[in-house]
């Protein structure tokens, strides 16, 4: 078929007929006839159904964005099977839409980010590490062309100093490299939407998707930026913004470099990054009295003073209310004076230690962690650090002749194997509950398990900590409590508890499900040979993504309600990735990765069922 149409006229006619709610998308909520005919002379082509009409809308906009005024109709794109289309869009469009750099080529996007606007002069403040002379020179020169405010950080960064930046927050420099007689920023992928920086654990899961899509250089850039953060900021940051300088995120660096090395086989690169990963392990996680607790297990502990400045306005009103009432002040006034240090309140200080620590955990927010996070040896954190130890052992044994020297110290695989076995023994002592047959977080202050049925209790499968008997017990006892129509819920309803006006929904709790949990659980089930349940869980998750994308103009958001299998999630912060016009150009970082990873693992027979949108209940009856 050779049928060419005017893009502008066709778009206008299509939206006028089919976009009845005026949101510049074609979804199942529109009440149009769901039948649209393209005409050129005597030739015509009729498009039917929400899905195919939304594909038509997207393809017209793609052609328009490429500078075309006419489009030759391509039925293969309009009638493309859902799984293949979603995967192709992620590979060919969304990763590109999420890619950023901290050089002149990428910094204009940051200037448009509303989080970077300052009241005084609408400039972007760029904080440069004390020890990076190249970055200081580059950004100082760039300041002549763009509205930038360049601040050199002090050699020693303290929580007290970071608090002084709250009213002039900005972006933290990432790695610049001299390439082709110029300076370029190492690329990185952002989660999407309002998350326009390089985030900690998001980056690992995004890298999984990037490697599957052969975006090797982009995954490399993200690992190189991790290395830069550890060198110059002392840790992998929650994200590269000034108010995150005292906060790290879940540790996945060893997994990232191991998986990248499988593709590059660059031993020199691996050696450099293995040194940095060991440095991070020892200086961020294994310092006693900080993130290492007296029982030998680890916790999160985000240092800092006062309220986290990134929280949305009104987020802490529930916590401030009683204190404001006792002081005979409005909540707004009390909160402002507390933030400025005019009011001292030790109870609030204690609360915010835990609140910032929840954010460091990546699970912000959840009733599992509220008010106690800094007192918990979390199952998932210790599983991740166990994997660091076993990754180090494996890399040193297989790629460095079982001897890896850093300064005056020499590490062998046995050294790290012993570390991992010590951690495993402690996890079995403090975190494994024999009567329940599952792992729970442990409150080392009260010396008691924290009983909360969470998807994080399955992460020991991913790390390879479990015996086969423990793995079977988790599959028999914990997994059924969390399995829902759209995959694994973050926790069960009973653990979350009843909701009310004073106890609102938290985004990391039931009924919501998240990509990193699914991806780790799938890999863990594979480790222990639970193929059938792995295939079922992958299918449930991908079915939910596919059905929502088919019904809602290609929407791929940050999170889902897995109980109802919908992207219409009701929790704080909304759902990033749902607000767009015509076509999403980004999806959402780790959601994109979870789709590509799931498709890479799913048997072809189930891919075919996904394309037919066969509900999970028909394939996996209870």
pLDDT tens figures, 399-448 = 999 999 999 999 999 999 999 999 999 999 999 999 999 999 999 999 99
pLDDT above 60 for 332: yes
Looking at the structure, tell me whether residues 154 and 259 fall in a common domain: yes
My answer on whether 38 and 163 are in the same domain is: no
In a domain, 249, yes or no: yes
Please state, in angstroms and as integers, the Cα–Cα distance from residue 113 to each residue in 43, 110, 345, 490, following that order: 46, 5, 34, 30
Mean pLDDT, to the nearest integer, of 147-168?
94
| Contact present, 391 and 404 (Cβ < 8 Å) | no
SS3 state of residue 409: strand
State yes or no: pLDDT of 119 exceeds 70.
no
**362-412 tens-digit pLDDT:** 999 999 999 999 999 999 999 999 999 999 999 999 999 999 999 999 999
529 assigned to some structural domain: yes
Mean pLDDT of all residues in 333-362: 93
> Do both 506 and 609 map to the same domain?
yes
Residues 6+ apart with CB under 8 A from 189: 95, 98, 99, 100, 198, 203, 206, 207, 210, 218, 222, 589
Backbone φ and ψ of 401, nearest 5°: 50, 35
- Quote the CA–CA distance of 499 and 165 in Å, as a whole number: 36
pLDDT band per the 50, 70, 90 thresholds, residue 63: very high
User: What's the distance, Cα to Cα, between the start and end of the chain in Å?
Assistant: 47
Q: Are 338 and 367 in contact (CB under 8 A)?
A: no
pLDDT at residue 493 above 70?
yes
Q: What is the mean pLDDT of the chain?
A: 95
Q: How confident is the model at residue 180 (pLDDT cuts 50, 70, 90)?
A: confident
Tell me, what's the pLDDT at 118? Answer: 45
Local confidence band at 121 (pLDDT 50, 70, 90 cut-offs) = low
Tell me what pLDDT residue 292 has.
98
Does the structure show a pLDDT above 60 at 114?
Answer: no
Q: Is the pLDDT of residue 30 over 60?
A: yes
Average pLDDT over residues 41-60: 95
174 in the same domain as 283: yes
Asked if 69 and 195 sit in the same domain, the reply is no
Provide the domain limits for residue 66.
4-80
Return the pLDDT at 318: 81
Q: Residue 97 falls within a domain, yes or no?
A: no
Instruction: Report the phi/psi class of residue 227: left, alpha or beta, with left for phi > 0 and alpha for psi in -120 to 50.
Output: alpha
pLDDT at residue 40 in the model: 83
Q: Which of 58-67, 174-183, 218-227, 381-390 has the lowest mean pLDDT?
A: 174-183
Do the Cβ atoms of 150 and 144 come closer than 8 Å? no
Residue 275 within a domain: yes
164 and 257 in one domain? yes
The reported pLDDT for the residue numbered 340 is 85
What is the tens place of the pLDDT at every residue in 524-581? 999 999 999 999 999 999 999 999 999 999 999 999 999 999 999 987 788 999 999 9
Q: What are residue 3's phi and psi, to 5 degrees?
A: -135, 115
Mean pLDDT for the stretch of residues 142-156: 95
Does some domain include residue 167? yes
Closest CA relative to residue 297, chosen from 241, 375, 363:
375
Task: Write phi, then psi, for 350 (nearest 5 degrees).
Answer: -65, -45
Please tell me the predicted confidence (pLDDT) of residue 116: 52
Residue 63: both structure tokens together = 């052609």
71 shares its domain with 125 = no
Q: Within this chain, do residues 110 and 232 fall inside the same structural domain, yes or no?
A: yes
**pLDDT over 90 percentage in the chain:** 88
Within this chain, do residues 443 and 559 fall inside the same structural domain, yes or no?
A: no
Q: Can you give the pLDDT at residue 622?
A: 78
What is the distance between the alpha carbons of residues 300 and 108, in angstroms, rounded to a whole number?
A: 34
| Spatial separation of the C-alpha atoms in residues 116 and 110, rounded to whole Å | 7
Query: How many domains does the structure of the chain reveal?
Result: 3
Q: Tell me what pLDDT residue 513 has.
A: 98
Average pLDDT over residues 155-177: 94
In a shared domain, residues 388 and 430: yes
Which residues sit opposite 449 in a β-bridge? 442
User: 231-254 pLDDT, tens per residue?
Assistant: 999 999 999 999 999 999 999 999
Question: What pLDDT does residue 113 have?
Answer: 62
214 within a domain of the structure (yes/no): yes
Q: How far apart are CA 16 and CA 32, in angstroms?
A: 9
* Residue 464 Rama label (left phi>0; alpha psi -120 to 50; beta): left
pLDDT score of 473 more than 50: yes
Q: What residues have CB less than 8 Å from 428, skipping those under 6 apart?
A: none
Q: Which of 80, 360, 364, 380 is catalytic?
A: 364
Whether 414 and 537 map to the same domain: the answer is no
DSSP letters for 415-480? HHHHHHHHHHHHHHHHTEETTTTEE-EEETTTTEEE---BGGGGHHHHHT-S-HHHHHHHHHHTHH
- CATH code for the domain in which residue 135 is found: 1.50.10.10
Whether 203 shows a pLDDT value over 70: the answer reads yes
Told to judge if 476 belongs to the known catalytic residues of this protein, a careful annotator would answer no
Pick from 35-44, 125-134, 491-500, 511-520: least confident: 35-44
- pLDDT confidence band for 120 (50 / 70 / 90): very low
The verdict on 183 and 45 lying in the same domain is no
What's the Cα-to-Cα distance from 345 to each of 183, 272, 341, 348, 601, rounded to whole Å? 48, 45, 9, 5, 52
Question: Does some domain include residue 319?
Answer: no
Measure Cα distances from 399 to 19, 120, 268, 392 in Å.
Answer: 58, 54, 11, 10
* Residue that terminates a domain, selected from 432, 450, 468: 450
Among 33, 50, 80, the domain-final residue is 80
Does some domain include residue 360?
no
Q: What 3-state DSSP class applies to 145?
A: coil
Is residue 558 part of the annotated active site? The answer reads yes
Question: How far is CA 600 from its chain centroid?
Answer: 20
Q: What distance in Å separates the CA atoms of residue 564 and residue 484, rounded to the nearest whole number?
A: 8
pTM over 0.75: yes
What value does the mean pLDDT take over residues 472-485? 98
């Amino acid at each position: 078929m050779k049928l060419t149409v005017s893009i502008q006229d066709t778009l206008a006619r299509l939206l006028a007929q089919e976009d009845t709610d005026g949101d510049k998308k074609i979804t199942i909520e529109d009440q149009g006839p769901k039948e649209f005919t393209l005409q050129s002379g005597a030739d015509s082509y009729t498009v039917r159904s929400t899905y195919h009409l939304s594909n038509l809308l997207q393809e017209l906009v793609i052609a328009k964005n490429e500078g075309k005024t006419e489009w030759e109709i391509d039925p293969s794109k309009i009638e493309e099977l859902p799984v293949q289309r979603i995967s192709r869009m992620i590979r060919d469009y969304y990763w590109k839409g999420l890619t950023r750099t901290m050089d002149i080529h990428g910094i204009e996007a940051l200037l448009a980010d509303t989080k970077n606007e300052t009241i005084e002069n609408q400039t972007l403040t760029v904080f440069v590490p004390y020890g990076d002379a190249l970055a200081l020179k580059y950004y100082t020169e760039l300041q002549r062309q763009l509205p930038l405010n360049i601040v050199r950080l002090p050699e020693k960064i303290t929580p007290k100093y970071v608090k002084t930046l709250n009213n002039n927050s900005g972006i933290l420099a990432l790695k610049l490299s001299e390439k082709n007689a110029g300076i370029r920023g190492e690329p990185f992928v952002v989660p999407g939407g309002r998350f326009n920086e390089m985030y900690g654990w998001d980056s690992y899961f995004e890298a999984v998707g990037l490697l599957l899509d052969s975006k090797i250089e982009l995954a490399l850039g993200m690992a190189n930026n991790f290395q830069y953060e550890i060198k110059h900021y002392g840790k992998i940051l929650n994200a590269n913004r000034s108010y995150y300088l005292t906060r790290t995120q879940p540790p996945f660096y060893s997994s990232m470099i191991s998986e990248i090395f499988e593709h590059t086989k660059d031993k020199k690169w691996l050696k450099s990054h293995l040194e940095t990963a060991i440095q991070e392990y020892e200086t961020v996680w294994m310092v006693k009295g900080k993130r290492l607790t007296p029982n030998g297990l680890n916790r999160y502990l985000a240092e800092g003073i006062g309220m986290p400045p990134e929280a949305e306005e009104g987020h802490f009103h529930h916590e401030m209310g009683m204190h404001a009432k006792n002081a005979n002040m409005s909540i707004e006034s009390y909160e402002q004076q507390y933030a400025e240090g005019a009011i001292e309140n030790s109870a609030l200080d204690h609360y915010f230690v835990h609140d910032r620590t929840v954010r460091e955990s990546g699970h912000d927010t959840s009733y599992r962690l509220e008010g106690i996070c800094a007192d918990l040896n979390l199952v998932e954190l210790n599983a991740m650090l166990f994997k660091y130890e076993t990754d180090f052992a494996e890399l040193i044994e297989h790629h460095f002749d079982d001897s890896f020297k850093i300064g005056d110290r020499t590490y062998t695989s046995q050294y790290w194997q012993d570390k991992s076995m010590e951690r495993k023994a402690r996890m079995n002592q403090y975190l494994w509950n024999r009567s329940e047959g599952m792992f729970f977080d442990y409150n080392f202050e009260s010396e008691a398990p924290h009983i909360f049925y969470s998807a994080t209790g399955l992460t020991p499968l991913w790390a390879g900590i479990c015996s086969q008997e423990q793995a079977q017990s988790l599959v028999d006892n914990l997994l059924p409590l969390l399995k829902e129509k759209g995959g694994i819920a973050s926790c069960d309803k009973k653990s979350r508890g009843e909701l009310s006006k004073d106890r609102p929904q938290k985004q990391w709790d039931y009924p919501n499900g998240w990509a990193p949990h699914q991806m780790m659980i799938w890999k863990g089930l594979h480790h222990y040979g639970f193929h059938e349940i792995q295939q079922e869980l992958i299918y449930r998750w991908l079915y939910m993504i596919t059905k929502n994308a088919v019904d809602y103009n290609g929407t791929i958001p940050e999170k889902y309600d897995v109980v109802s299998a919908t992207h219409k999630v009701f929790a704080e912060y909304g759902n990033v990735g749902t607000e767009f016009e015509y076509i999403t150009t980004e999806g959402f970082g780790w959601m994109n990765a979870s789709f590509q990873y799931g498709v890479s693992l799913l048997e072809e027979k189930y891919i075919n069922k996904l394309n037919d949108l066969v509900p999970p209940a028909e394939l996996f009856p209870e």
